[in-house]
Structure 1
């Protein structure tokens, strides 16, 4: 099993699949925003950035997964993005399920002054929605609740693949 996990992490198709899944989620977010007219809140924007981190990890691994430094860079970025995305999604669910004047998100994105994404690419990163508003549901779950499941799945798979790559042995044939 460990050899199989090491082998999978050295395959370009696996990294391509990871990148494709994250790209699909980003395109879904843009569909909801620009076609269906749902306004993203600050937490939505931060979760979107976490998905972009998973996409960047997939693209990094896609470059050359046989090189250990690229594979490990991609694995660590994937794991970090999944953990951070899960934290953000859980906090967003808390805003929705426990709305109060004391439990609200900021109306403005807190990007570094040297990287004002909301000014540079407003069609992708400008928040103008309310974090506590539930404007879309599927099977009784809101979008942040679905993102909890998605980020948890990303984290579970990343953890299994990382553990498989920690075991000693030859990775790539």
Structure 2
């Protein structure tokens, strides 16, 4: 199984699949915002940024997947983004399930001054919703609950990809043991 995951990481097909999955999820988020008129909150915007991190990791992995350094950089960006996405989604679910005056998100996105995404790309990153509001459910789960599942799945895939990087092919072991 690890050989399969290592093969995915060393060929562009796996990175293209990761890129497509991220772009589809971002498109769905924009459909919810503009097609269904659901207002994104601050946590929604931060979750989008985490998803853009996964898209960035796919783009980095596509550059040269056979190069160990490029592949490793892509995997590091991906796992950090996926873990951050899980943490943000869990906090967002907490805001929804335990609404209280002391348990609320900010009304404005707090991006660094050097990267004001809400000012550069307001159509994507400008929040104007309320974090504790549940405006959409599917199969009894709210959007942040689904995002926990999505980001956890990404985490598991990235963990398997990272572990597979330490897997040597049988021919490599033969060369190492015989000295050929």
User: Normalising by the residue count of structure 1, what TM-score does the alignment of the two structures yield?
Assistant: 0.95
- List alignment gaps of at least 5 residues for structure 2: 173-180
**Separation (CA, whole Å) in 2 of partners of 1:89 and 1:108:** 17
How much has 1:152 moved relative to structure 2? 0.3
How much has 1:108 moved relative to structure 2? 0.6
* CA deviations over 1:76-103 (Å, ceiling 9, x no partner): 1110000000000000000000000010
* Secondary structure, counterpart of 1:166 in structure 2: coil
Is the contact made by 2:38 and 2:135 (CA closer than 8 Å) also made in structure 1?
A: yes
Map of 2:52 onto structure 1: 52
* Secondary structure, counterpart of 2:165 in structure 1: helix
Map of 2:96 onto structure 1: 96
**Separation (CA, whole Å) in 1 of partners of 2:134 and 2:4:** 42
Map of 2:11 onto structure 1: 11
**Separation (CA, whole Å) in 2 of partners of 1:157 and 1:3:** 14
Matches within 5 A, 1:30-41: 30-41=30-41
User: Normalising by the residue count of structure 2, what TM-score does the alignment of the two structures yield?
Assistant: 0.91
* Secondary structure, counterpart of 2:157 in structure 1: helix
Is the contact made by 2:2 and 2:160 (CA closer than 8 Å) also made in structure 1?
A: no
**Separation (CA, whole Å) in 2 of partners of 1:140 and 1:2:** 35
Map of 2:177 onto structure 1: none
How much has 1:157 moved relative to structure 2? 0.7
Larger Rg: 2
- List alignment gaps of at least 5 residues for structure 1: none
Instruction: Give me the CA root mean square deviation.
Output: 1.0
* Secondary structure, counterpart of 2:112 in structure 1: coil
How much has 1:7 moved relative to structure 2? 1.6
**Separation (CA, whole Å) in 2 of partners of 1:131 and 1:165:** 39
Total equivalences in the alignment: 170
**Separation (CA, whole Å) in 2 of partners of 1:129 and 1:166:** 44
